[in-house]
Structure 1
Amino acid sequence: MEHVLRVLEYEKMKKQLLEHVASSLGREKIQALVPSTDVEEVERWQLETAEGAEVLRLKGHIPLGGITDVKTEAKRAQIGGSLSAQELMNISSTLYGGRQIKGFIEDVEEEDQTPIPLLSEYATQIEPLRELERSINQCIDDYGHVMDSASPELRTIRHQVRSFESNVRSKLESLIKSQNTQKLLSDAIITIRNERYVVPVKQEYRGSFGGIVHDQSASGATLFIEPQAVVVLNNQLREAKMKEAQEVERILARLSAQVSEQAEVILVNLDVLAVLDFIFTKAHYAKKMKASKPQLNANGYINLKDARHPLLDQETVVPISMKLGGDYRSLIITGPNTGGKTVTLKTVGLITLMAQSGIQIPAEHGSEMAVYSSIFADIGDEQSIEQSLSTFSSHMTNIVRILDQMRSDSLVLIDELGAGTDPTEGAALAISILDTIYRRGACVMATTHYSELKGYAYNRDGAVNASVEFDVETLRPTYRLLIGIPGRSNAFAISRRLGLSEEIIEQAKEQLDLDATQMETVIASLEENQKLAQKESDEATQLRKDSASLHAQLEEKLAELEEQKQDILKEAEERAAKAVQDATEEAEVIIAELRELQKQGLSVKEHQIIDAKKHLDEAAPKLTSGQKRVKKLQKANRKPISGDEVKVLSFGQKGTILEDLGNDEYQVQIGIMKMKVDLKDLQVTEKAKPIETRPMATLRGNGFHVKPELDLRGERYEDAMRRVEKYIDDALLAGYHQVSIIHGKGTGALRKGVKQLVDRHPRVKAARDADMKEGGLGNTVVELK
């Protein structure tokens, strides 16, 4: 296995993977990663990666900040060792990080209603140790120092230390300011030597100054002397500092004992966090490569669709599509050197290793990969100088080992089979080796430039020829894999393009036997026919896409026209209704006057008044109900898709489609509510647009829902800076005068970035570190103009 991993550059792929790791825990998992041969294990790994990729798609980030590998600290505490303040802070930070990722995963399932059973299983194994985390945070500050509040005794002792220090400094300052003393000093300063306060005295005045000498300068011209007047005070200060150190040690020992009690839980949490970091690292890698989850099987079947070598530039690499293990188990790629045959072998081999490592593959959706019990590769010149082996001998040594170890469920990759010896013997040997591998049931991909192997697949079931296309016009390979067509040498065509005379080329053709000439002609015809078929297929595919696009546009236009028609009709009906209403009001006045005349004895019959009013009512137009109009619109309207803006008819409110639940039911977000709505109760008002997934805010300010604080912990640097800029704009619109930006301690990169950003922001009045009650150095308070 080690040989195959090296030849197929598996470690280089892992280096790319390491670029996305969040902690040393995940780094260890990746460094120890090797492909699995167990189908169930590989399937679980792939499902884990798929769940991680889905979470990354929904949320855009994973809060894995602050997590460090504290296994050594936990084990040392477990056997009675005492941890330093910084080590205890690392444990507290890791416990906090574990709580964060646990809550994050639980929220994804609950709020986003996304099933992630495997990730949820890991999250349930994380046990939050809030009491231990709280105990450490109450005693140790953000700088890793034990705080005065850690115990009443420590507060008292440190008060004494500060008092003694003040007395010593006061005494020494009065001494160095004295006119009589200043001429004896090298400099009028107070310094420390051997943890005692001293002053620098010129060497020549040593006898007249007095006191205890603790050190001297490099030149010997200055002595650092503790004056006799402060010896007692320095002794008191030293004793107080010793008590302080003892009390700090006692506090650290107490906290270490608490860690010892929870050491097993901490170690389990670390194991789970390592797995989660590993999973999300693979998810980030898959996103970068635009990779997909392959279907897996144990039948030795590969079906790659537009696969790309992961170590090549994903924007420029030519993808390959191929099948192996179904109708044929032997794929023979022929053609000239530098045509891309070796890259094809390495692409298939490395992608197979990635799939069996639980890593999504750089290929289109629907690709299928086999889980092989073993993979063998003989690629490149691995000549052994120590054994003085020739190229042929070196390759043959590898092939002998492969034939001895391979099984029916193995994948064998051989580059330039039979090369390095007489062409006739090498070709015959290559055919015999291929037949042996086929009889044993293994899958094999082999490259060769021997013309004798071009007819190999035509004479054997379960084998197929392939070649890498070569453009004679540009004299460059296109790297497109052509299945079913053996490769041509193109020697005559290339020579002609390079200027070799036609006479020489014709003489060379005469040297070829009839069979070879006919073979080249057949191959050329096959290539031309396949190119034509591929071109027609591409054109048909494009026509189908254009037709589907045009159909969708026409449906959308029809829906818009129908909606415009209904709006015009409604407007006309409303105008007519208004005119009738005005007439009715006027008629009511007339009828009232008629009744008044009737009371006065004039001949106006009551039934005539009623008839007149009835005729006026019937003259009013009947407005088309919104429900009927929507039903007409829906007949010409397409089904909603995720991101469409719709109107929920029963509520009369607008919302956004989140998900198609099937059976003509959709999940719709209306304001802060998410609800299931039937298709007949929906009207599409705008086409799909990106759905904003910002967390719901809790405070209201001038019409904007904005929190008074922004939590960046666990964010990547670039994402965090974008969020800070957006947040400051929102806070200004919301009318806030002061906000908090929580970036945590971590490495300090986020804190520095936040400081630089707010310092140059034109609407920021001032920024400061929060005090201890507000979160300390993990929080920056920003005042807005």
Structure 2
Amino acid sequence: MIVKKLDITNHIEQLEALFCRKKDIKLDGDINIHHSIIKELDTFSLKTPPKVEPLNGPMNYLQKQGNLKIYEIYEFVKILRYFQYLHKFTFTGKLANWIEKIIIPKELDNIIDAFDEKGELIHGFSEDLDRVNTNLYSNKDAIKQKLYGVINSKNLQPYLVDHQVHLVHGEQTLMVRAGFNHVLKCKVMDRSQSGFFYVLPHSVGELKQKQSDLVNLKDDIVYRITKEFSSILAKQIMFLKFINKEFDRYDHYQARLEFAKINDFNFILPSKANNKSQKLVDFKHPALHNAKSVSIDFSKSVIMITGVNAGGKTMLLKSILSAVYMSKYLIPYSCDKSTKIGAFKDISAILDDPQSVKNDISTFAGRMLEFSKLFSKNDTIVGVDEIELGTDSDEAASLFKVILEELIQKNIKIIVTTHHKRLAALLAANNNVELIAAIYDENLRVPTYEFLQGTIGKSYAFETAQRYHIPLRVVNKAKEVYGDDKDKLNDLIQRSSDLEREYKDKISLLDKKIEKTKQLEKQLKDKKESMDSDIVHQKNKLEKEFSEAINEVKKAVKLNNIKEQHQILNKVHKQKQEIKISKNQEPLNLKVGDRVKYNNTKGLLISIKGKKATVETNEGMKLQLPLSSLQRSGNIPKAKPKSIQIKVQKPESGYIKLDLHGQRADEAIENLDKFLSDSLMAGFDEVLVYHGIGTGKLARAVSEFLDSHPSVVSYNDATAKEGGFGAKVIKL
């Protein structure tokens, strides 16, 4: 069995332990639909389905019109109730489509409702059964009371071993010593190892007979009920077969999902689309404890693994085949989600020595027999351990080169391990072949259980022999026999591996630098987008404020009321003063030679020392200032705020003096307001207003109005020559 060959038996057994009942681990049907439903189930918190016995036997009885036992009927009820429970949820997608197809016939509701959670018929379902159960309970209590009455009998006390009731052969008995027959009429049920007797008093025996009669009556009632239920179930036999199969399907889903959650495993969905790009990423073989994770690309048609003995070549082969097998049947395992697995019809593992005395077959002949079967297959992945096993390595290398090239044409992927370099050398130039070397630590003289793609690995046979305590003189003598020329070839292979590893390390370092550069570019791009967005925001704000000011001016032009026109113009003037551009607080990357400014002083940045900067001003002075206090001046053009310009035609009649004598206060204030607005539009900075002295009422009204006017800077009483206390000099 391939599961055993790949050393994933324990992994599979852990998954099987989560099943509600024993079944084949393989999940038949469209794996893409299965994967979608499992993902949808993962979004719900559902109770675990109940443990259920296999129902193939009971269904055969129903087909033959046989009567099921009450406990067999309850096994069907457990399945039906669980699907009733699932129907309470609002599922979506493929999960909803599947569950909605499972419609439980109304004829089965009576059977489902007849049982309690322990598999017993509920009270009230059958009056006859309830009556018998009540009598059985009363009879049982009577037996108990009778026994305790016998135990407390004075005549029996000397013969009692203890005051307990002992259950022997399903009967409640007393333990007594020899001689009891003089004081107690009873039936001996058994004898203890100490020579005491277990006895059933005759007075209790009568009650026992009544109990037996009640039990027989209960069996007759239950039989009638099961016969009725079996008849109903037999009519629904096709549905029962269907829902029994669907329950196993759901059992596959929930067990796999729970298995993945418990162990933090991932589901890897195999796909034909992945056949051109297949890789394991951080895969850990289930059979290894504290295993090193393996990342390997096995996209090419032939993967040839060479290198050190006991360096993990076989386990790498098993890892690739195990990942393919577990993905094929949607079994979760330890790996990164970026792992890609292709879809294969068949998985073969040629790992063991096929030699068999019984079949009179040699090792090499057995290998040839297994390879001959591959020529009738396609769309298959095959793992071959020690491919040249059992024959001359040079002859085998030539033979297997041709065999592998033929199998490549049949869309068969082959994972091969070998210690012989000739076959690897023959296939090295083939673009469909990926060479992988198991890495050996030269300094520590131990395998690293890591792998390098694109090169051939040494076997390190001499080093391994020495590591396992073969005498050094024997190893050195073997090296002499091996020959200097072959040893030099090994050195070349090792040098090639070292260069390949160095090349891969440099590529990895370069990839990290490229990734860092990409991150910096992204940060700069994000920063630019943020600044552009801020500029657009400021521009929109200015345009909005400008539009509002223009609209206010348009309103003023349309109004006939001079007073309201002046009030709106004053409001526009105020809006113009409030328009500001918020300053960007980002730190400036200043350098020597930049034009800068400090407050209102502009100059040239001539030196930077730490956080201090020296600036030569436009007037020729040199200032030492904090670098953070400087701003650019002229290097980077800044967006200028749009200024609001209000052009109003200058009135033809503008007066520098206004006489309010003889006017009422409200009339005088209205004329004063118009006079000031006309004076502002005419460009006058100072005007003279006559109000007279009189009662002082008009003078106070003028002063109060001037205090509240936004365009009046100040006002004072005029000089004696200009009118004294009866006039005001107003500055605008």
Instruction: State the TM-score, normalized to the length of structure 1.
Output: 0.56
1:502-521 equivalences in 2 (<5 Å): 511-513=483-485, 516=486, 519-520=489-490
Show CA shifts across 1:355-382 (max 9, x none): 4434467655565545455554432445
Task: Tell me if 1:249 matches 2:223.
Answer: yes
- State the match for 2:370 in structure 1: 401
Match of residue 213 from structure 1: 186
State the distance in 2 between where 1:192 and 1:356 align.
55
Please name the residue that 1:149 is paired with. Answer: 124
1:530 maps to what in 2?
A: 500
Matching of residues 229-268 of structure 1 within 5 Å: 239-240=213-214, 242-268=216-242
How far apart, CA to CA, are the structure 1 residues paired with 2:479 and 2:56?
A: 77
Report the Cα offset of residue 555 of structure 1: 8.1
Percent identity of the aligned residues?
Answer: 16
What SS is found at the alignment partner of 2:329?
coil
Larger gyration radius, structure 1 or structure 2:
2
Q: Which residue of 2 aligns with 1:86?
A: 71
Does 2:84 align with 1:99?
Answer: yes
Superposition deviation, residue 97 in structure 1:
1.5
- Indicate which of 468, 478, 481 corresponds to 2:448: 478
Q: Which amino acid aligns with 2:78?
A: S
Q: Is the 8 A contact 2:268 2:330 kept in 1?
A: no
TM superposition shift of 1:71: 3.8
Question: How far did 1:69 drift?
Answer: 3.4
> Displacement, 1:57?
4.3
Give yes or no for the alignment of 1:430 onto 2:397: yes
Equivalent-residue separation in structure 2 for 1:506 and 1:200 (angstroms): 83
Superposition map of 1:624-663 within 5 A: none
Match of 2:20 among 2, 15, 23: 23
1:108 aligns with 2:77: no
Determine if contact 2:266/2:332 at 8 Å carries over to the other structure: no
Distance change (3 Å), C-alpha of 1:611 and 1:407:
same
1:202-228 per-residue CA deviation (whole Å, 9 max, x = no partner) reads: 87575676xx6333663577854334x
Q: 1:243 to 1:368 in 2, by over 3 A?
A: closer
Contact 2:387–2:418 (Cα < 8 Å) also in 1 = yes
Distance 2:148 2:225 in 1: 35
| Distance (Å, rounded) in 2 between the aligned partners of 1:330 and 1:350 | 17
Q: Is 2:509 the partner of 1:539?
A: yes
* 1:177-214: CA deviation from partner (whole Å, max 9, x where unpaired): 777887898888889999999988987575676xx633
Q: How far apart are the structure 1 equivalents of 2:424 and 2:293?
A: 24
Matches within 5 A, 1:736-775: none
- Give CA deviations for 1:240-298 in whole Å, capped at 9, x if unaligned: 55444433433343334333333332221010111222244344555643342232269
Aligned equivalents of 1:462, 1:455: Cα separation in 2: 14
Q: CA RMSD in A?
A: 5.3
Amino acid at match of 1:99: Q
Partners of 1:415 and 1:192 lie apart in 2 by 63
Q: Distance in 2 between matches of 1:542 and 1:254?
A: 74
Q: Distance in 2 between matches of 1:500 and 1:202?
A: 82
- The alpha carbon displacement at 1:82 in A equals 3.8
Question: Deviation of residue 416 (structure 1)?
Answer: 2.4
CA distance in 2, matches of 1:400, 1:146: 61
Q: 1:15 to 1:553 in 2, by over 3 A?
A: farther
- Provide the secondary structure at the position in 1 that maps to 2:319: helix
CA distance in 1, matches of 2:91, 2:578: 46
Residue in 1 aligned with 2:641? none
Classify 1:248/1:406 alpha carbon distance in 2 versus 1 (closer, same or farther; 3 Å): same
Alpha-carbon separation, structure 1, partners of 2:290 and 2:250: 30
One-letter code of the match for 1:29? D
Q: Give the aligned length.
A: 549
| CA 1:620–1:256: 2 relative to 1, 3 Å | farther
* Preserved contact between residue 68 and residue 94 of structure 1 (Cα < 8 Å): no
CA distance in 2, matches of 1:359, 1:615: 80
Task: Tell me if structure 2 keeps the 8 A contact 1:88–1:136.
Answer: no
Using the alignment, how far apart are the partners of 1:226 and 1:509 within structure 2? 97
Instruction: Name which of structure 1's ranges 83-92 and 612-621 shifts more when overlaid on structure 2.
Output: 612-621
Q: 1:378 aligned to 2:350?
A: yes
Report the counterpart of residue 272 of structure 2 in structure 1. Answer: 296
Deviations 1:446-479 (A, max 9, x none): 3322243342124656445432222212223333
Structure 1 residues 543, 52: CA separation in 2 closer, same or farther (over 3 Å shift)? farther
* 1:709-754 deviation per Cα after TM superposition (whole angstroms, max 9, x unaligned): xxxxxxxxxxxxxxxxxxxxxxxxxxxxxxxxxxxxxxxxxxxxxx
Structure 1 residues 367 and 220: alpha-carbon distance in aligned structure 2, compared to 1, 3 A threshold: closer
Q: 1:346 aligns with which of 318, 324, 349?
A: 318
Residue 317 of structure 1 pairs with residue 286 of structure 2: no
**Residues in 2 aligned to 1:473 and 1:432: alpha-carbon distance in whole angstroms:** 37
Highest relative contact order (Cα 8 Å, sep 6+), 1 or 2?
A: 1
Question: Secondary structure of the equivalent of 1:289?
Answer: coil
CA shift at 1:152, angstroms?
2.3
Partner of 2:246: 272
Residues 450, 183 of structure 1: alpha-carbon distance in 2 compared, 3 angstrom cutoff = closer
What amino acid is the match of 1:431? Answer: S
Aligned to 1:445: 415
1:146, CA displacement in angstroms? 3.4
Q: Give the secondary structure class of the aligned counterpart of 1:481.
A: strand
Q: Which amino acid in 2 is paired with 1:54?
A: K
The answer to whether the 8 A contact 1:63-1:100 is kept is: no
Q: Distance in 2 between matches of 1:458 and 1:170?
A: 92
Contact 1:198/1:226, CA 8 A, preserved across alignment: no
Instruction: Please give the per-residue CA displacement for 1:74-107, whole angstroms capped at 9, x wherever unaligned.
Output: 4434544444443333332221112334555xx3
Task: Tell me the distance in 2 between the aligned counterparts of 1:252 and 1:53.
Answer: 37
Question: 2:297 and 2:85 mapped to 1: Cα distance?
Answer: 44
The verdict on how the C-alpha distance between 1:255 and 1:474 changes in structure 2, with shifts beyond 3 A counting, is same
Describe the shift of the 1:541–1:103 C-alpha distance in structure 2 as closer, same or farther (beyond 3 A).
farther
Aligned to 1:342, the other structure's residue is in SS state helix
In 2, Cα distance between equivalents of 1:343 and 1:398: 20
SS at 2:23 equivalent? helix
1:143-194 deviations in whole A, cap 9, x for unaligned? 3333442222333444455566677777887787777887898888889999
8 Å contact kept, 2:80–2:104 = yes
More helix by share: 1
- Give the Cα–Cα distance (whole angstroms) in 1 for the partners of residues 127 and 478 of structure 2: 104
Note closer, same or farther for the CA distance 1:508–1:310 as it changes in structure 2 (3 Å cut).
Answer: same
Correspondence 1:72 to 2:57 = yes
Amino acid at match of 1:399: M
Q: Which residue of 1 aligns with 2:304?
A: 332
Q: 1:320 to 1:427 in 2, by over 3 A?
A: farther
SS for the counterpart of 2:436 is strand
- Checking the alignment, whether the CA contact within 8 Å between 1:216 and 1:224 is kept in structure 2 is yes
Q: Report the Cα offset of residue 486 of structure 1.
A: 1.6
Q: Indicate if the aligned counterparts of 1:22 and 1:64 stay in contact, CA closer than 8 A.
A: no
Structure 1 residue 538: deviation in Å? 1.7
Cα 1:542–1:254 shift into 2, 3 Å = same
Residue identity matched to 2:292: V
Tell me by how many angstroms 1:523 deviates: 3.3
Give the superposition deviation at 1:9: 3.8
CA contact (8 A) 2:283 2:335 kept: yes
> In structure 2, what residue type is equivalent to 1:267?
K
C-alpha deviation, 1:400, in angstroms: 3.6
Whether the 8 Å CA contact 1:22–1:65 is kept in 2: the answer is no
- Any conservation in 1 of the 2:327–2:341 contact (CA below 8 Å)? yes
Match of 2:707 in 1: none
**Equivalences for residues 134-145 of structure 1 within 5 A:** 135-138=111-114, 140-145=115-120
Q: What letter is aligned with 1:303?
A: Q
Gap change, CA 1:281 and 1:564, over 3 Å in 2: farther
